[in-house]
């Protein structure tokens, strides 16, 4: 006898659920919810979102708004529409729904829009007791981010003393908090604590480098092909590049894009080609609020055994960019904005490989062979870039 969708869900056989229910034209509500969850578990966030949008047309429900926002967040879309979905979910829930507030905190944390006022407006001690221990990590990290240390510690200890303790390794700031209050750490947690402290300290070193030396930022747009700008690029003290930029051994590429590479800004994603970081002065890990949100910092453990400065852009600048762009900033605009704030200027002659509009073209692939992220507002980034050039910010 064939398994039902519910039985397949209990067995976590999500691929079979999708295969079974995708071909079914008319689905019961329970079947739609099971299929949506299967899409969520297999990271097909857009398909999951489509189901909840369809359900929302039939019935305006707080949980549907929450699930749509969750899909948006998990695919990295922290724009204003995601925020609106969550605010509507909160409005429709008659009481403070722990799951909805948990998702709201996760969104605020991931998007660097978290404030003490917003957190304390919705936080009530004991309201999250029904959640799984792992879900308390988001709550704890959000509270610690706004310096409500004792409340944060109370939430963090719910997983510290559970069988899911290893999940603490996703939150570097909570390891720092536990150490501050003298809780015993295991070897992996001690490694993460060292990484946390190093990243924070190296933010000062990065700022000093940019203050004291000339820097050229080279994006991955093919707009410099054939322009032989390589010599000009290499004349700067520091040259910054991104993610999967091509090999500098390629003569044609180096003629147009230069040979030097002193700063490498790379995504946390494992789609980025690994490089020997000994050749860089600085490696910047790109992403919003990485020291507070769920991040696999131990993936970069070997980076911290080198002499290279490894750090992140300070969160305050990412937060400002979210306000300007109403969407997550690309790594390129993040670094350009940081330089602008540190040096109080941004020179057109020190930026190469940026068009910001190439990404809007169909089937666009950058010089690193990757497709530009669709979650960025490229036109707004271009406008911000032009404002920085005119010193209008």
* Residue range 247-257, pLDDT digits in tens: 777 777 889 99
What pLDDT score does 370 carry?
A: 67
* Residue range 278-315, pLDDT digits in tens: 889 999 999 889 999 999 999 998 899 878 999 999 99
Angle at 72 (CA atoms; ends 320, 195), nearest 5 degrees: 60
* pLDDT of 374 strictly over 70: no
User: For residues 328 and 393, what is the distance between their CA atoms, to the nearest angstrom?
Assistant: 19
Write the CB contacts of 43 (distance below 8 Å, at least 6 apart in sequence).
74
Please state, for a pLDDT cut of 70, what percent of the chain lies above it: 95
* Residue range 128-166, pLDDT digits in tens: 888 888 889 999 999 999 889 999 999 999 999 999 999
User: For residues 43 and 26, what is the distance between their CA atoms, to the nearest angstrom?
Assistant: 24
Please state, for a pLDDT cut of 90, what percent of the chain lies above it: 67
* pLDDT of 328 strictly over 80: yes
pLDDT mean over 58-81: 92
Write the CB contacts of 307 (distance below 8 Å, at least 6 apart in sequence).
278
Task: State the CATH class of domain 212-389.
Answer: alpha beta
User: For residues 373 and 271, what is the distance between their CA atoms, to the nearest angstrom?
Assistant: 13
* pLDDT of 378 strictly over 70: yes
What counts of helices (H) and strands (E) characterise the chain? Answer: 17, 6
Torsion of CA 158, 164, 169, 172, to 10 degrees: -10
* pLDDT of 35 strictly over 70: yes
pLDDT mean over 325-334: 91
Lookup: tokens for 77: 């879309």
* pLDDT of 95 strictly over 80: no
pLDDT mean over 214-242: 94
What pLDDT score does 363 carry?
A: 55
SS3 at position 47: helix
Whether pTM > 0.85 for this model: the answer is yes
* First-to-last C-alpha distance (Å) of the chain: 66
pLDDT mean over 200-208: 96
Contact 121, 101 (CB under 8 A): no
Lookup: tokens for 160: 């510290």
Q: What is the mean pLDDT of the chain?
A: 90
What pLDDT score does 50 carry?
A: 96
Distances (CA, A) of 5 to 20, 26, 28, 35, 156: 8, 14, 11, 8, 35
pLDDT bracket for residue 373 (50, 70, 90): low
* pLDDT of 389 strictly over 90: yes
pLDDT bracket for residue 113 (50, 70, 90): confident
Q: 């507070």: which residue's tokens?
A: 292
pLDDT bracket for residue 232 (50, 70, 90): very high
The number of residues in the chain equals 393
Higher pLDDT, 366 or 236: 236
Domain extent listing, the chain:
97-185, 212-389
């Amino acid at each position: 006898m064939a398994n039902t969708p519910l039985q397949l869900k209990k067995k976590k056989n999500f691929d079979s659920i999708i295969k079974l229910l995708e071909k079914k034209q008319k689905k019961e509500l329970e079947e739609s919810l099971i299929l949506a969850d299967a899409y969520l578990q297999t990271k097909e966030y857009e398909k999951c979102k489509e189901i909840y949008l369809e359900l929302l047309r039939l019935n305006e429900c707080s949980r549907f708004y929450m699930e749509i926002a969750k899909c948006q967040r998990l695919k990295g879309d922290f724009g204003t529409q995601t925020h609106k979905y969550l605010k509507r979910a909160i409005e429709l829930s008659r009481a403070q729904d722990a799951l909805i507030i948990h998702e709201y905190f996760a969104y605020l944390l991931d998007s660097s829009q978290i404030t003490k006022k917003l957190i304390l407006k919705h936080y009530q001690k004991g309201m999250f007791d029904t959640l799984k221990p792992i879900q308390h990590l988001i709550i704890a990290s959000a509270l610690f981010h706004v310096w409500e240390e004792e409340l944060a510690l109370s939430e963090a200890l719910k997983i510290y003393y559970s069988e899911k303790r290893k999940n603490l390794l996703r939150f570097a700031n909570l390891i720092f908090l536990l150490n501050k209050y003298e809780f015993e750490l295991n070897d992996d947690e001690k490694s993460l604590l060292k990484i946390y402290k190093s990243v924070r300290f190296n933010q000062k070193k990065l700022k000093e480098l940019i203050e004291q030396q000339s820097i050229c930022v080279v994006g991955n747009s093919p707009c410099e092909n054939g322009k032989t700008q390589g010599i000009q690029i290499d004349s700067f003290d520091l040259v910054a590049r991104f993610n999967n930029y091509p090999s500098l051994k390629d003569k044609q590429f180096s003629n147009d894009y230069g040979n030097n590479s002193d700063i490498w800004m790379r995504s946390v994603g494992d789609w980025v080609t690994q490089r020997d970081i000994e050749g860089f002065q600085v490696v910047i890990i790109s992403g919003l609020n990485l020291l507070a949100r769920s991040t696999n910092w131990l993936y970069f453990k070997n980076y911290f055994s080198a002499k290279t400065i490894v750090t992140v852009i300070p969160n305050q600048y990412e937060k400002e960019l979210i306000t300007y762009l109403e969407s997550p900033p690309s790594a390129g605009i993040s670094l350009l904005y940081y330089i602008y704030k540190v040096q109080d200027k941004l020179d057109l002659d020190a930026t190469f490989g940026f068009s910001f509009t190439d990404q809007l073209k169909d089937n666009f692939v950058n010089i690193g062979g990757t497709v530009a992220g669709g979650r960025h507002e490229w036109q707004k980034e271009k406008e911000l870039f032009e404002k920085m050039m005119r010193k209008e910010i």
